[in-house]
Structure 1
Amino acid sequence: MADLYADYAALAAAETEGVDYSRTATAPAGATWAAIAIHGGGIEGGSGEIAREVSGAGSRMAYYEFAGLKSSGNSDLHITSTNFDEPQAMALVGGVRRCLSFHGYTGTAGVPVTAIGGLDTVLVARVTAALTRAGFTVTDAPSEIAGTDPDNICNQTTSSAGVQLELSRAQRDAFFPGGENTAAVRNSGARTEEFYRYASAIRAALMGRGLIAISAINASRYCLLPAPAADVDLMATVSTDALAAGGGHFLALVARYADGNNMYLARLDFTTAQAVVLTIRKRLAGTETSLGQHTTGLTHTAGGRVAVRLQVAGSALKAKAWADGSAEPAGWQVETTDTDLTAAGEIGMRTILSSANSNTLPVTASWGDFTTLGSPQSMVVTRSVNGIVKAHGAWTDLSLTHPMRAAL
């Protein structure tokens, strides 16, 4: 069926933004990847949700969604990919090198499948392989939804190539409890394990993974880069290729690294009992101490990936860990404070085997999805009228009010 509107200008002239449709465009500084859904909301339900999750709602990579908000008739808002010229979307995609464009199609009833296409053939192959490894069915998209037209928005990148993923109705329905792909369920935030597993597979294809072969016990291996600020919020996923024997596998995110003797760490301990223990640690003048600990309840398996997050803001240190492919816990699992290390230094990862470890060497650690989620900031609010100064803690809400003055 032909689209009701030939382009965005025609749609905007007839429909009301905020009532009939919404636009969301956000990107971290320097973003080179984008996840977009130009038929989100009720147009092709589930496409916007998966684009949002893959991108971290714009924290991991650029994110765009055009969403239908109508109670019915959202198909009227469909503009085909080769004609979709909404300015925010064009600017966002035009500023990145690689783009994933998520869509929905009907497909065969009850058959979850992803039909993939686009001009970025290298990334098409990587995404296909990642989804297949994760247990999803992927096919080459038929010509009518192949995403190979140069005018397709997914191909408007700086490399003139992108990837288009067409998810069957059954695949999108599987993202929501009970297969209820309705506005109420989508807006509730309820998602299935399959939803998070799908997004994790996509991110693995995008972000890539690095392997560290640990050929000696009690010897640290670091991957570091300059920190953007002293206050950072870091996340990564990691696995090892063997169960711990004799002593544990220790894998940590690192912040405020000055040298090998001074740093903060959020460390995962893969124990010989196959437990996963999270600790926040401080290494100061060569002495390492634990500042807080949490037993996650996760079971370590060879190749099983665990996500870990570390936030450092002023003197506040927070960390959490969860199974990659599942929902991130809402709260922090370990929280503490420390004032010994204040300089930005470097950020990154540390990998080490316990001095008691007896695994056959090398043990290979696989790090991936390393992301800086933004730098928390602290502020000082000064009321110029009476000179009161109040410190503002990182990640706490801030509001400014002015007393009303009325003449009597």
Structure 2
Amino acid sequence: MPDLYASYTDLAAHQVEGTDYERRTVPVTGATWASIAIHGGAIEAGSGEVARAIGAGLMNHYEFAGIMPSNNFDTLHVTSTNFDEPIAQGIVTGSRRCLSCHGYTGTTGLAETSIGGLDTATGARVQAALRAAGFRVISAAQEINGSDPLNICNKTTISAGVQLEMSTALRESFFPGGDTSRTMRDSGQRTTTFNAYVAAVRTAFGQGQVSQGSINVSRWATVPASLPDADIVAAMGTDKLATGGSHFLHLVGRYQDASNNYLARIAFNTDQTVTLTLRKRLAGTETLLATAASTSSLIHAAGRLFWVRFRIAGSTLQAKIWQDGGSEPTPWSVTATDASLTAAGAIGTRSILSSSNTNTLPVVASYAGFQQLAPQSFAVTRAVNGITKTHAAGAAVNVAHPAIIAL
């Protein structure tokens, strides 16, 4: 059945805000991502609550909420490609990434999620995180796959977003007794299923920032890994162009301590070039193992993120790099062989500014989507800022805390 109104503009001309619907926002200072629910309230009950919980402290939140006594869906539903509400448009177009939460009927009686949108890399991480947490994820049907560039979730600065469609049975499982009424939703009562679902999605969207207030000081964020081999990936960037000396951001494997570990390092140089190297730290001495061929297409800019994938298998170390919003390349950018460190240790990140760096401090390093790609069990302890989390085997691991860490 077609929508009653062809756009929010049309809807607003006929319905009464505060009586029929509400527009709700929760801003997060410094956030560059958005979590939205344009069919919140009683339109697609539960979608707004999920979007708000996922975004809490991490993303700017927007919800268009139906509050009519009945017929909210039939009256207030405006399809994603036609949703022209100006606050939502402003939040999404100013965001690098967007998660748009929706509800749909789904397979009768099954709690399931369909994932769509043009940000397929992030969508794949969400899918992997949900499945690792025990949730059923299926391929999105064409009518809800979020592939239209005009879909509001795709109007980000990278022209791509993630559309999360949750079945009725799944959304009912989020509330005690399956009660999705406004009274229950407004009560704040949630089930353990709700909390597990939100936590899983947040690991895929997790972003951490490390505030570097001094030069030539390493900031480490690590989690123990039970196996020596690792295959990890994260997006990383800094908030300023490098002056005087480079910004160095790393993925870390087989971390025994700050003096003994393997590193995949990207250098953001003063001429805006980006250099990827493999390195080892042994007894406090850092040694270059291999350097990737320079790539003119990789140009550093303030706030721009670059994905790095770092694999350690036996004595073979490999890394690759690509710009956020692009596709992961098939070949590895750089490979090295070294057998100095063989024991399991930890995985994580390292941030450091060159001793010659002259930026106005702090320089803020951002890490997004940190994930262990190969199945592995973790007993997760954040050693740097005291955050402790536990993750199941094969789950995505978000190393950096979503708030700014001043170290």
Q: Is the 8 A contact 2:154 2:161 kept in 1?
A: yes
State the shift of 1:25 in Å: 2.5
When normalised by structure 2's length, the TM-score is 0.55
Q: Which protein is bigger by CA-based radius of gyration?
A: 1
Distance 2:161 2:170 in 1: 22
| TM-superposition CA deviations, 1:9-62 (whole Å, max 9, x none) | 221122121221111223333322111100001000110011001000xx2111
Q: Is the 8 A contact 1:307 1:324 kept in 2?
A: no
3-state DSSP of counterpart to 2:81: coil
Q: How does 1:158-307 map to 2 (within 5 A)?
A: 158-207=157-206, 213=253, 215-216=255-256, 303-305=378-380
Task: Output the CA distance in 2 between the equivalents of 1:11 and 1:105.
Answer: 21
State the partner residue of 1:3.
Answer: 3
Deviation of 1:110 (Å) = 1.5
**Relative to structure 1, is the Cα distance of residues 205 and 321 closer, same or farther in structure 2, using a 3 angstrom cutoff?**
closer
In structure 2, the CA distance between the partners of 1:20 and 1:51, relative to structure 1 (3 Å rule), is same
* Cα contact 1:200–1:324 (8 A) shared by 2: no
1:173/1:181 contact within 8 Å kept:
yes
- Other structure's SS at 2:13 match: helix
Q: CA deviation at 1:374?
A: 10
1:27 counterpart letter in structure 2:
P
Residue type of the partner of 1:26? V
Q: CA-to-partner distance for each residue in 1:228-248, whole Å, 9 max, x for gaps?
A: xxxxxxxxxxxxxxxxxxxxx
Identity of aligned residues (%): 49
Give deviations 1:153-209, integer Å, cap 9, x for gaps.
Answer: 011111111111110000111111121121111111111111111111111111268
Name the counterpart of 2:317: none
Query: Pairwise CA RMSD of aligned residues?
Result: 3.5
The one-letter code sitting in structure 1 at the alignment partner of 2:24 is T
CA 218–162 in structure 1, closer or farther in 2 if over 3 Å, else same: closer
Aligned residue for 1:14, secondary structure, equals coil
Task: Assess, with a 3 A threshold, how the Cα gap between structure 1 residues 308 and 193 changes in structure 2: closer, same or farther.
Answer: farther
User: Which blocks of at least 5 consecutive residues in structure 1 are unaligned?
Assistant: 222-248, 251-300, 311-318, 326-365, 376-408
SS in 1 for 2:53: helix
Structure 1 partner of 2:403: 372
Q: Which residue number in structure 2 is paired with residue 67 of structure 1?
A: 65
SS in 2 for 1:368: coil
Partner of 2:286: none
The one-letter amino acid paired with 1:189 is G
Q: Which amino acid aligns with 2:46?
A: G
Matches within 5 A, 1:125-144: 125-144=124-143
| 1:384-406 Cα shifts (integer Å, max 9, x gaps) | xxxxxxxxxxxxxxxxxxxxxxx
1: CA distance, partners of 2:29 / 2:89: 17
Q: How many residues in Structure 1 have an aligned counterpart in Structure 2?
A: 255
Q: CA deviation at 1:307?
A: 8.3
Q: 2 CA distance for matches of 1:44 and 1:63?
A: 17
Change (3 A) 1:172 1:72: same
Paired with 2:198 and 2:183, the residues of 1 have a C-alpha distance of 21
Gaps of 5+ in 2: 208-232, 235-250, 262-344, 347-375
Whole-Å separation in 2 of the counterparts to 1:159 and 1:218? 36
Alpha carbons of structure 1 residues 218 and 158: separation in structure 2 relative to 1, 3 Å: closer
Assess, with a 3 A threshold, how the Cα gap between structure 1 residues 369 and 195 changes in structure 2: closer, same or farther.
farther
Alpha-carbon spacing, 1:8–1:61, altered in 2? closer, same or farther (3 Å) = same
Contact kept in structure 1, 2:23 and 2:64, CA below 8 Å: yes
SS in 2 for 1:38: strand
Amino acid across the alignment from 1:109: T
TM-score by length of 1: 0.55
